[in-house]
A and B are shown apart, each in its own frame.
Chain A
Amino acid sequence: MSAIAVLLLGLAGLTAGYFLYAHFIAKRVFQLDYGFRAPAHELEDGIDYVPTNKYILWGHHFTSVAGAAPIVGPAVAVIWGWVPAFLWVVLGTVFFAGIHDAGALWASVRHQGRSIGSITGDLIGNRARNLFMVVIFLVLLMVNAVFGVVIAKLLVANPSSVVPVWGAIVAALVIGQCIYRRKMNLLTVSVVGVVVLYALIGVGPYVPLELPDSFAGLPANAQWIVLLFAYAGIASLLPVWALLQPRDYINGLQLCIGLIVLYGSILIANPAIVAPAFNSSVPASAPPIVPLLFVTIACGAISGFHGLVSSGTTSKQIDRETDVRFIGYFGAVGEGCLALAAILATTAGFASIGEWQNLYTNFGEAGVNAFVDGGAALVSAGAGLPESTAATLLTVMAVLFAGTTMDTGIRLQRYIMQEWGEMYNIPALKSVQVSTLVAVGTCLALAFGAGGLDGSGGMLIWPLFGTTNQLLGGLTLLVLTVILVRLGRPMWYTLVPMLFLLAMTLYALLVQLKGFYLNGEWFLLGMDGVILVAAVMVMLEAAGALRHQFREQRLAS
């Protein structure tokens, strides 16, 4: 099958979703009102609440939700064949992610720009709000651990990307100083920054850097994991203007360039998809496709994490309520496009099915490395770059994304921990240094605890991360459904996705629980157990809250 045909089909599906389904949802379900005074105007303070141009707001909403996850998930999930992954990405984006992201944004806009967690506290109860915080903490913990492992694997597999990856961080530090201290012209600085980044990518293959095979008893992979967490811990403590802000900016530019190069290469090279549509010879280590597909691809289809971004920051800056459709729903569509590119790179970027099968011999093993290999073949065929440079380009793209998520994740974990310190009055937890250390420590423990000293087993957590993320998505959809029921609006558009998501999550947790038990992976079994308890509690909360609403409505009528 031609990759262009699949690409166009996918884009057509997403476009139809935006123009037809999102239009319907905005008109009939959310009933977005142009005249509604958004929190950005109502509570304008020049700090949190600032009305912002909708295209700019979309830009950073999209770049904060798009990361390495929509690349890793599809890259792992194509092991079952490309059709299931493709269908889940397209249908998931249209019927799940779009309404979830836009819904979280809308709910927040209608509640003074507050976060979904705090809205949950008001609508459902304090227990649900605490549950929300625990689930968020688990998501962050897992995403940090997994990304540490993913980056380490990439850096070991592609030593040529070491110089550009760390060079990009130095470049970002310099850009931060130039703009904040020297007040230099942003346009000049960004052009220079992008040129430097791509020059480093060009230089990378000539100066490959590898860590020693063993240092203090740790293999190279584990050394990278430790170094990465040390970096993430330090980066999360720096003032945002010094590193986070310039690096996010350069990453955003880089994401656009990377997506254009990848899509352009597919259009020019028109490769054939070599991977099977439905893989009939799935490796024995792979879990069953139902329900695992729906938690392996979380970001890119539906991700609870987006609700945090939607309701935390974006909603406070939205200019008009009607912008919710463009920013929330189209943000999800953008992420779907990234996942689509990942599917095509991992299925069409190989010369033969044999080569593809060699890479996908074990569940969770190929992942993002398959994206880099396949994507590099596509880019070198389409854009004419040497394959080593193309591989460096894609590695840098994936690593920078994952790195950004890591230090933002550690920062958020620290905030949660400090909040717990306040709540339970533990002075040590309130301190910035201690809470950062605890955050980094728990992530490291998870990365190593899951797969031994070399940290190679960390990818086993990926589906667990997916389940937690979907749990968060389910909670957000629950809040949305409660709001819609209260307003007397149609609730099926959020209720059905919620039921499907929670059912798949619970099923996946049970399947994984059995797998961990049979393999004797006690650490992961424990993690699974914790998430299972959280999932059951979420479901009880959901049932209780909805029953309460229905009873009230019956009484009222």
Chain B
Amino acid sequence: MGSKRDDRPAEPRQRAAVGRVRRILRRVRYYAEEYYNAPYRATIARARRDEDDLFMLLVFSEMMGVPNPASYYTMELQPLLMERFHDWHKRMGMERSPLDQIRCC
């Protein structure tokens, strides 16, 4: 595209051209994906969070006195979900942690 003649042999020149096309495509794809996702990001993220919240309830249900036949398995997940526990109980409208065993705030 420049006014200078490219004196490099054919192969590197082609490789550079392919690289340029790839870069342009990547840029176009970024814009297309953003354009596709941005308007609905909130709705979809909220739906996903609702599902996650239900999962939290399942995992911590035994502690709240709700029998859960899968508690033997979900127990293992508790430490993994600890990080999200505080946000979760706040979102569920409980200012303080509802569980005596877990004092996050």
Contact across chains for B47 and A59 when beta carbons are under 8 A apart: no
Residue from A64, A185, A186, A187 within 8 A of B39 (CB atoms): A64
Q: Which residues of B contact A317 (CB under 8 A)?
A: 38
Residue from A48, A52, A64 within 8 A of B34 (CB atoms): A52
Contact across chains for A245 and B46 when beta carbons are under 8 A apart: no
Contact across chains for A47 and B25 when beta carbons are under 8 A apart: no
Q: How far is the CA of A55 from the CA of B29 in the complex (A)?
A: 14
Q: Which residues of A contact B49 (CB under 8 A)?
A: 47
Residue from B29, B38, B46 within 8 A of A57 (CB atoms): B38
Q: Which of A317-363 contact B (CB under 8 A)?
A: 317
Specify the main secondary structure of chain A where it touches its partner: helix
Q: Which residues of B contact A179 (CB under 8 A)?
A: 36
Q: How far is the CA of A252 from the CA of B37 in the complex (A)?
A: 13
For residue B81, CB closer than 8 A to chain A, the reply is: no
Contact across chains for B42 and A187 when beta carbons are under 8 A apart: no
Q: How far is the CA of A317 from the CA of B36 in the complex (A)?
A: 15
Given contacts A186-B32, A187-B29, contact A48 B44 (CB under 8 A): no
Q: Which residues of B contact A59 (CB under 8 A)?
A: 35
CB of B35 to closest CB in A, whole Å: 5
Q: Which of B12-41 contact A (CB under 8 A)?
A: 25, 28-29, 31-36, 38-41
CB of B45 to closest CB in A, whole Å: 4
Q: Which residues of A contact B40 (CB under 8 A)?
A: 240-241, 244-245
Contact with B along A235-268 (1 / 0, CB 8 A): 0000111001110110010000000000000000
Q: Can you show 22 pairs from A to B with CB atoms below 8 A apart?
A: A47-B45, A50-B41, A52-B38, A53-B34, A56-B31, A56-B34, A56-B38, A60-B38, A185-B29, A186-B29, A186-B32, A186-B33, A187-B25, A187-B29, A187-B32, A239-B47, A241-B44, A245-B36, A245-B40, A248-B39, A252-B35, A317-B38
Closest to A252 in B: B35
For residue B43, CB closer than 8 A to chain A, the reply is: yes
Q: Which residues of A contact B33 (CB under 8 A)?
A: 186
Contact across chains for B46 and A47 when beta carbons are under 8 A apart: yes
For residue A549, CB closer than 8 A to chain B, the reply is: no
CB of A323 to closest CB in B, whole Å: 14
Contact with B along A204-223 (1 / 0, CB 8 A): 00000000000000000000
Q: Which residues of A contact B43 (CB under 8 A)?
A: 240
Closest 6 CB pairs of A and B: A47-B45, A56-B34, A60-B39, A48-B42, A245-B40, A249-B36
Specify the main secondary structure of chain B where it touches its partner: helix
Q: How far is the CA of A53 from the CA of B35 in the complex (A)?
A: 10
Q: How far is the CA of A52 from the CA of B36 in the complex (A)?
A: 13
For residue A15, CB closer than 8 A to chain B, the reply is: no
Contact across chains for A313 and B39 when beta carbons are under 8 A apart: yes
Closest to B31 in A: A56
Of the four ranges (under 10, 10 to 19, 20 to 34, 35 or more), the interface on chain B belongs to 20 to 34
Q: How far is the CA of A47 from the CA of B45 in the complex (A)?
A: 6
For residue A279, CB closer than 8 A to chain B, the reply is: no
Q: Which residues of A contact B45 (CB under 8 A)?
A: 46-47
Q: Which residues of B contact A316 (CB under 8 A)?
A: 42
Q: How far is the CA of A46 from the CA of B25 in the complex (A)?
A: 26
CB of A422 to closest CB in B, whole Å: 15
Q: Which residues of B contact A55 (CB under 8 A)?
A: 31
Q: Which of A51-71 contact B (CB under 8 A)?
A: 52-53, 55-57, 59-60, 64
For residue A112, CB closer than 8 A to chain B, the reply is: no
Q: Which residues of A contact B42 (CB under 8 A)?
A: 47-48, 50, 313, 316
Contact across chains for B32 and A190 when beta carbons are under 8 A apart: yes
Given contacts A186-B29, A187-B29, contact A47 B36 (CB under 8 A): no
CB of A501 to closest CB in B, whole Å: 28
Closest to A179 in B: B36
Q: Which residues of B contact A53 (CB under 8 A)?
A: 34
Closest to A55 in B: B31
Closest to B44 in A: A241
Q: How far is the CA of A244 from the CA of B47 in the complex (A)?
A: 15
CB of A49 to closest CB in B, whole Å: 9
Closest to A187 in B: B29
Q: How far is the CA of A36 from the CA of B44 in the complex (A)?
A: 29
Closest to A250 in B: B36
- Apart from A50-B41, A64-B39, list 8 A-B contacts with CB within 8 A: A47-B49, A56-B34, A60-B39, A186-B29, A187-B29, A239-B47, A244-B40, A249-B35
Closest to A46 in B: B45
Contact across chains for A60 and B35 when beta carbons are under 8 A apart: yes
Q: Which residues of B contact A246 (CB under 8 A)?
A: 36
CB of A482 to closest CB in B, whole Å: 28
CB of B36 to closest CB in A, whole Å: 5
Q: How far is the CA of A252 from the CA of B43 in the complex (A)?
A: 19
Q: How far is the CA of A521 from the CA of B34 in the complex (A)?
A: 48
Q: Which residues of B contact A248 (CB under 8 A)?
A: 39
Q: Which residues of A contact B39 (CB under 8 A)?
A: 60, 64, 245, 248, 313
Closest to B36 in A: A249
